[in-house]
Amino acid sequence: MATASVAFKSREDHRKQIELEEARKAGLAPAEVDEDGKEINPHIPQYMSSAPWYLNAERPSLKHQRKWKSDPNYTKSWYDRGAKIFQADKYRKGACENCGAMTHDAKSCMERPRRVGAKWTNMHIAPDEKIETFELDYDGKRDRWNGYDASTYARVIERYEARDEARKKYLKEQQLKKLEKSNQNGEEDAASDEDEEEDDLRVDEAKVDESKQMDFAKVEKRVRTTGGGSTGTVRNLRIREDTAKYLLNLEVNSAHYDPKTRSMREDPLPDADPNEKFYGGDNQYRNSGQALEFKELNIHAWEAFDKGQDVHMQAAPSQAELLYKNFKVMKEKLKSQTKDTIVEKYGNAADEDKLPRELLLGQSERQVEYDRAGRIIKGQEAALPRSKYEEDVYINNHTTVWGSWWRDHQWGYKCCKQTIRNSYCTGAAGIEAAEAASDLMKANIARKEAAAEDPTPTEEKKLATWGTDVPDDLVLDDKLLAEALKKEDQRKREEKDERKRKYNVRWNDEVTAEDMEAYRMKRVHHDDPMKDFLN
């Protein structure tokens, strides 16, 4: 086993070290011990057991392979739930637009969306939450009980103990009342009631020991879970003497039974005598009694919340129930007021003997026409269907909506006949300008087409030696042209033979028309069929 020492070893020491490692692997020599006194596995490779040089490890150790910077008390640290760090008095820049807290934005705000956010009202600013971060290891991230306070379970135990004490106290009071009643009845009936009292006491004792007898319908069975299954307890609350729901009616088209939820919503025996039936379907309990009242309470809470009331059935059930009671009282009062107003205006038919002639005949000035099927043809305006989108909203100074005009497979505005959605309305002047531009464009297109049909004759230009234009007033001197041709021949010879190039080169920037003509005449054109015979 190689140690952390990096000192130089001789050949003999190196051989002894290898023999010691082989003996440790074979079990003939004791294993090496680290700083903590733990044995190091001799089969660990050297590149894993040897510590880096910058750790300055004096003795062999495997500490550098572990996460030695981790906090051993990671399980004791957890989030401080509900903690607040600062309460602001006014809105701050960059805070949540809904509640005004700086620790989150409006998208991740957990508060109920306000009608007008704290950014604009500058009121009811929510305090900043305490944000913490923990670096947990592999086990800490998967510890489902991390942060759980075991002392909170004492409340559950206290609640159950208080319930048991109240039950025992109630049973003792019932026994005392029965004894007092038996003493009042006299000694004549004492002998006949002894057996009954003993039975009552036995029943009371059975009630006291009810927690021990609650397992009468306890069934041990295999319950499938996400972890692969575990033996769990399933309680069956149905008494075995009763007939099951699905056995009440064995017809194929009878009420549907769902075995997963054990529910049968419809009545399995709809034609049977209701006095003899003990089960009429689950809908019987859903639409009667307190279930119907609870359903109405939920609906009222939803509607009140949609209309801006701060009410929630699950968060504050007492508040929701009180609000519902006040709503029913106000509704009855409003009904009575409406009834009194109608009675004052039209009278009460129960009190008066004769009704007015107008009410009996039901005459009115409105004329309504019907067809043979009884549908209204004339006299009643058809109700236009409302859309969930905004209607009759004019933008950018337009007087009509987008889509009120159609031309050349494009929608637009009818007021200015523009096909750009975000354009500004130009009115009648814009329509005239657009028509003028369209007429001008059509005239230009027609003129171009006419020019393409009748092309104008172009004058032929006299070309120079190799494609350049020759001015009409150009006059060349024959002597100067001959000299220029000689200079051009000499220049080409110098280009072919670099040895004839002089050391001091003189360059003349003044180019005459004769020089240009000589250059054109001597230039070799690649398309010339006689270029190979030149020179």
Sign of the Cα torsion 271, 275, 276, 278 reads positive
What mean pLDDT do residues 202-225 have? 49
Predicted pLDDT of residue 122: 92
Of 80-89, 280-289, 366-375, 519-528, where does the model show the most confidence? 80-89
Those residues with Cβ within 8 angstroms of residue 208's Cβ, 6 or more apart along the chain or in another chain: 167, 168, 171
**CA distance linking residue 215 with residue 217, whole number of Å:** 5
Predicted confidence (pLDDT) at residue 309 exceeds the cutoff of 50 = yes
Tens digits of per-residue pLDDT, 265-283? 888 888 888 888 888 888 8
Those residues with Cβ within 8 angstroms of residue 290's Cβ, 6 or more apart along the chain or in another chain: none
Residue 370's Cβ-side half-sphere holds a number of Cα atoms within 13 Å equal to 4
DSSP codes of every residue in 83-132: -EEE--SS--TTS-TTT--SSS-STT--SPPPSS-HHHH--SPPPEE---
Place of tokens 């397992």: 215
Predicted pLDDT of residue 465: 46
Predicted confidence (pLDDT) at residue 104 exceeds the cutoff of 90 = yes
Predicted confidence (pLDDT) at residue 210 exceeds the cutoff of 70 = no
Of 107-111, 163-167, 323-327, 506-510, the range with the lowest mean pLDDT is 506-510
Predicted confidence (pLDDT) at residue 527 exceeds the cutoff of 70 = no
Predicted pLDDT of residue 393: 83
Predicted confidence (pLDDT) at residue 205 exceeds the cutoff of 70 = no
Per cent of the chain over pLDDT 90 is 21
**CA distance linking residue 211 with residue 161, whole number of Å:** 12
Greater confidence (425 vs 222) lies with 425
Predicted confidence (pLDDT) at residue 455 exceeds the cutoff of 70 = no
Tens digits of per-residue pLDDT, 228-249? 555 555 555 666 777 888 888 8
pLDDT-derived band at 91 (thresholds 50, 70, 90) equals very high
Predicted confidence (pLDDT) at residue 522 exceeds the cutoff of 50 = yes
Which tokens go with 350? 């129960």
Predicted pLDDT of residue 216: 46
Predicted pLDDT of residue 94: 92
What mean pLDDT do residues 8-27 have? 89
Tens digits of per-residue pLDDT, 474-504? 778 888 888 888 888 888 877 777 666 666 6
Predicted pLDDT of residue 470: 62
| Per-residue DSSP letter, 234 | E
Predicted pLDDT of residue 117: 94
Cβ atoms of 411 and 419 within 8 Å: the answer is: yes
What mean pLDDT do residues 73-78 have? 64
CA 296 from centroid of its chain's CA atoms:
31
**CA distance linking residue 98 with residue 76, whole number of Å:** 34
Predicted confidence (pLDDT) at residue 466 exceeds the cutoff of 50 = no
Predicted pLDDT of residue 345: 86
Across all residues in the chain, what is the average pLDDT? 79
Helix (H) or strand (E) holding 369: strand 369-370
pLDDT-derived band at 456 (thresholds 50, 70, 90) equals low
Greater confidence (342 vs 207) lies with 342
Predicted pLDDT of residue 174: 92
- The three state secondary structure string of 128-191 is EECCCCCCCCHHHHCCCCCCCCHHHHHHHHHHHHHHHHHHHHHHHHHHHHHHHHHHHHCCCCHH
Q: What single letter denotes the amino acid at residue 289?
A: G
Of 42-56, 106-120, 454-468, 520-534, the range with the lowest mean pLDDT is 454-468
pLDDT-derived band at 381 (thresholds 50, 70, 90) equals low
DSSP 3-state of 491 = helix
In angstroms, the Cα distances linking 365 to 358, 362, 368, 375 are 12, 10, 10, 20
Tens digits of per-residue pLDDT, 406-439? 888 889 998 988 888 888 898 888 888 888 888 9
Which tokens go with 128? 């900043």
What mean pLDDT do residues 383-392 have? 71
Of 119-123, 144-148, 467-471, 522-526, where does the model show the most confidence? 119-123
From the number of C-beta atoms within 10 Å of its C-beta (0-12, 13-18, 19+), residue 484 rates as buried
pLDDT-derived band at 160 (thresholds 50, 70, 90) equals very high
Greater confidence (398 vs 358) lies with 398
Cβ atoms of 228 and 243 within 8 Å: the answer is: no
Between CA 148 and CA 157, with CA 154 as vertex, the angle to 5 degrees is 130
Predicted confidence (pLDDT) at residue 251 exceeds the cutoff of 90 = no
Buried b vs exposed e over 241-259: b needs ≥16 C-beta within 10 Å? eeeebbebbeeeebbebee
Predicted confidence (pLDDT) at residue 79 exceeds the cutoff of 90 = no
pLDDT-derived band at 1 (thresholds 50, 70, 90) equals very low
DSSP 3-state of 410 = strand
